[in-house]
């Protein structure tokens, strides 16, 4: 039996950094990534046979836990009928109907294979539909790795961004404006300066790529007003929050708080594929009709609407649409966050957490951070020690302080209790460290 260490060494010989997506490499927290051999329900087992309670859930998709019997059956049946046809199928219609049925702002969707593709296509469609070039994003929000979105804020508000990745020429991000999350004054100034040129504002309504940060209600309300006033499209990136924080996504959460609220465009992924490569973007019929073959905005995909992936997504949506599903998931997730906060209080360590539906976050600080800068200013060394303490005790949390966590319907009250006990032991050890020991 190969150890994690041996597999990591072998992987690094043939795969850059040994991983196919950077965060898996544990660079932020240090140490050796666990090579997962199988998963079932809320658990994953690594190559050495060690079991972990999984709070990543493939970064969100596994909302039912791993290997849910109804989903597994749907996938097996679909696979037996054929892997891919490159021709339309009835299942694509069913999935589109299911998404539209759950998200009132969406009248039509196009299916793709990854959140990156969906986000990139949304930007192109927004530009094509408005005839404008500029886009706005917020620092700390991730919308996939399309070139125009790999950008950080410039030195002043009037300046556009700088690429965050080599290989992205500055010209490619010259139309991308990056603003601070939850900063109403900056938003107003940006619209005052660039309003008539802004095609769309893309936002993670509850950001899960800077841990867990909610857009405040006044901020969201003002964002909606400004977009409408200036003819810019408001694009909700719900790749993480869609069918995860509520059945209707984060937009249903804000619609409860802001009467009549809805975004113009929506981006989905993760849960809608149930663990298979599937994502989608949607909007009104009017805007979606700008897409090829009806309109001038080109967009395509060999594996888009894949029959096995759509079967997996449909079976997943069916399970999470059952009455009481989100009430139970929300309560379980809240009990985890409350348990972590209680363990920290007992140890005398500042920790604050938040959750919505099956998505959560926690910070080693006294108050919930409003934006990326504040998130990154929380105690990273303490987070890293906590991460490793939990991993050693069989709890698999996201390996970076800027990532959200996920609870599935398969996590039982006993799993939560075991997690909180692990946290209590880890935080007691943390409290016993010499002050200033770093």
Ligand X SMILES: *Cc1c(COP(=O)(O)O)cnc(C)c1O
Tokens standing for 209? Answer: 């790529």
114 binding ligand X? (CB under 6 A): yes
**Among residues 417, 128, 95, 422, which one has the least CA distance to residue 280?**
95
**Cβ closest to ligand X, residue 310 vs residue 335:** 310
**Among residues 145, 253, 273, which one has the least CA distance to residue 209?**
145
DSSP-derived letter for residue 337 is H
**Cβ closest to ligand X, residue 209 vs residue 335:** 209
Provide the minimum distance between the beta carbon of 6 and ligand X in the complex, in angstroms, as a whole number: 28
The sheet carrying 233-237 orders its strands as 108-112, 279-283, 265-268, 233-237, 198-203, 134-138, 176-179
Select from 110-118, 175-183, 284-292, 409-417 the region that touches ligand X (CB under 6 A): 110-118
Q: What are phi and psi of 55, to 5 degrees?
A: -110, 20
Q: Is the peptide bond before 293 cis (omega within 30 degrees of 0)?
A: yes
**Cβ closest to ligand X, residue 116 vs residue 252:** 116
Residue 247 and residue 99: Cα distance in Å, rounded? 10
Provide the minimum distance between the beta carbon of 122 and ligand X in the complex, in angstroms, as a whole number: 10
**Cβ closest to ligand X, residue 212 vs residue 219:** 212
Provide the minimum distance between the beta carbon of 436 and ligand X in the complex, in angstroms, as a whole number: 36
In the residue annotation, 264 being an active-site residue is answered as no
Measured in whole angstroms, how far is the alpha carbon of residue 368 from the centre of its chain? 19
168 to each of 9, 133, 160, 174, 382, how far by Cα in Å?
A: 30, 17, 14, 11, 34
In the residue annotation, 270 being an active-site residue is answered as yes
204 binding ligand X? (CB under 6 A): yes
Q: How many chain residues touch ligand X (CB under 6 A)? A: 15
Tokens standing for 339? Answer: 């348990």
274 binding ligand X? (CB under 6 A): no
115 binding ligand X? (CB under 6 A): yes
Helix (H) or strand (E) holding 11: helix 4-14
Provide the minimum distance between the beta carbon of 185 and ligand X in the complex, in angstroms, as a whole number: 25
**What is the DSSP secondary-structure string of 196-260?**
GGEEEEEE-SEESSSSSEEPPHHHHHHHHHHHHHHT-EEEEE-TTTBTTTBTTHHHHHHHHHSTT
In the residue annotation, 254 being an active-site residue is answered as no
269 binding ligand X? (CB under 6 A): yes
**Cβ closest to ligand X, residue 112 vs residue 288:** 112
Assess contact for 235 and 171: CB atoms under 8 A. Answer: no
Select from 72-80, 108-116, 163-171, 382-390 the region that touches ligand X (CB under 6 A): 108-116
Q: What are phi and psi of 313, to 5 degrees?
A: -65, -45
Q: SS3 of 62, please? A: coil
**Cβ closest to ligand X, residue 143 vs residue 175:** 143
313 binding ligand X? (CB under 6 A): no
> CB burial class (10 A; 0-12, 13-18, 19+) of residue 349?
middle
User: Residue holding tokens 């893309």?
Assistant: 202
Provide the minimum distance between the beta carbon of 267 and ligand X in the complex, in angstroms, as a whole number: 7
Active-site residue, selected from the candidate residues 52, 55, 142, 396: 142
**Cβ closest to ligand X, residue 142 vs residue 360:** 142
116 binding ligand X? (CB under 6 A): yes
Select from 28-36, 111-119, 153-161, 306-314 the region that touches ligand X (CB under 6 A): 111-119
Select from 96-104, 136-144, 347-355, 372-380 the region that touches ligand X (CB under 6 A): 136-144
Provide the minimum distance between the beta carbon of 21 and ligand X in the complex, in angstroms, as a whole number: 7
Active-site residue, selected from the candidate residues 55, 270, 396, 402: 270
**Among residues 103, 80, 71, which one has the least CA distance to residue 276?**
71
- Identified binder of ligand X from the candidate list 42, 208, 307, 353, rule CB under 6 A: 208
Select from 5-13, 140-148, 227-235, 284-292 the region that touches ligand X (CB under 6 A): 140-148
Residue at shortest CB range from ligand X: 115
Q: What are phi and psi of 179, to 5 degrees?
A: -115, 165
Active-site residue, selected from the candidate residues 46, 54, 237, 264: 237
Residues forming a β-bridge with 52: 44
143 binding ligand X? (CB under 6 A): yes
- Identified binder of ligand X from the candidate list 41, 65, 128, 144, rule CB under 6 A: 144
* Residue window 215-254: x/- pattern of binding to ligand X, with contact defined by CB under 6 A: ----------------------x-xx--------------
Provide the minimum distance between the beta carbon of 406 and ligand X in the complex, in angstroms, as a whole number: 11
Assess contact for 152 and 162: CB atoms under 8 A. Answer: yes
Which residues are annotated as catalytic?
A: 142, 237, 270
What does the binding site for ligand X look like in residue numbers (CB under 6 A)? 114-116, 119, 142-144, 204, 208-209, 237, 239-240, 269, 279
């Amino acid at each position: 039996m190969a150890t994690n260490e041996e597999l990591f060494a072998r992987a690094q010989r043939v795969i850059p950094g040994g991983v196919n997506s950077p965060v898996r490499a544990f660079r932020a927290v240090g140490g050796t990534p666990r090579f997962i051999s199988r998963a079932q329900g809320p658990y994953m087992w690594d190559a050495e046979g060690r079991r972990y309670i999984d709070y990543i859930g493939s970064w969100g998709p596994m909302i039912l836990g791993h290997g849910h019997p109804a989903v597994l059956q749907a996938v097996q049946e679909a696979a037996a009928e054929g892997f891919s046809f490159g021709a339309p199928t009835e299942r694509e219609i069913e999935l589109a109907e299911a998404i539209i049925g759950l998200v009132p702002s969406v009248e039509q969707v196009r299916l793709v294979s990854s959140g990156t593709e969906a986000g990139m296509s949304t930007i192109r469609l927004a530009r094509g539909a408005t005839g404008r070039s500029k886009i706005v994003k917020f620092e700390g929000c991730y919308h996939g790795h399309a070139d125009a979105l790999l950008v950080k804020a410039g030195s002043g508000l009037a300046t556009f961004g700088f690429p965050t990745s080599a290989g992205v020429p500055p010209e490619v991000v010259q139309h991308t404006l990056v603003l601070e999350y939850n900063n109403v004054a900056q938003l107003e100034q940006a619209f005052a300066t660039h309003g008539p040129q802004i095609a769309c504002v893309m936002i993670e309504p509850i950001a899960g790529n800077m841990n867990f940060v909610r857009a405040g209600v006044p901020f969201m309300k003002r964002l909606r007003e400004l977009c409408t006033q200036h003819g810019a499209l408001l694009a909700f990136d719900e790749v993480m929050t869609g069918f995860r924080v509520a059945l209707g996504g984060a937009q249903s959460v804000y619609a409860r708080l802001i009467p009549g609220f809805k975004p113009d465009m929506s981006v989905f992924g993760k849960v809608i594929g149930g663990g298979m490569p599937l994502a989608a973007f949607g909007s009104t019929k009017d805007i979606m009709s700008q897409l090829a073959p009806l309109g001038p905005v080109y967009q395509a995909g060999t594996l888009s609407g894949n029959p096995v992936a759509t079967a997996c997504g449909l079976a997943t949506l069916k399970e999470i649409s059952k009455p009481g599903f989100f009430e139970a998931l929300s309560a379980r997730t809240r009990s985890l966050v409350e348990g972590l906060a209680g363990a920290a209080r007992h140890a005398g360590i500042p920790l604050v957490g938040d959750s919505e539906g099956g998505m959560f976050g926690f910070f080693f600080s006294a108050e919930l951070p409003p934006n990326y800068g504040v998130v990154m200013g929380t105690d990273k060394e303490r987070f890293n020690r906590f991460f490793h303490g939990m991993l050693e005790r069989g709890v698999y949390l996201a390996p970076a302080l800027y990532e959200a966590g996920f609870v599935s319907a398969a996590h039982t009250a006993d799993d939560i209790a075991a997690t909180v006990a692990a946290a209590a032991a880890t935080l007691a050890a943390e409290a016993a460290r010499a002050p200033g020991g770093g």
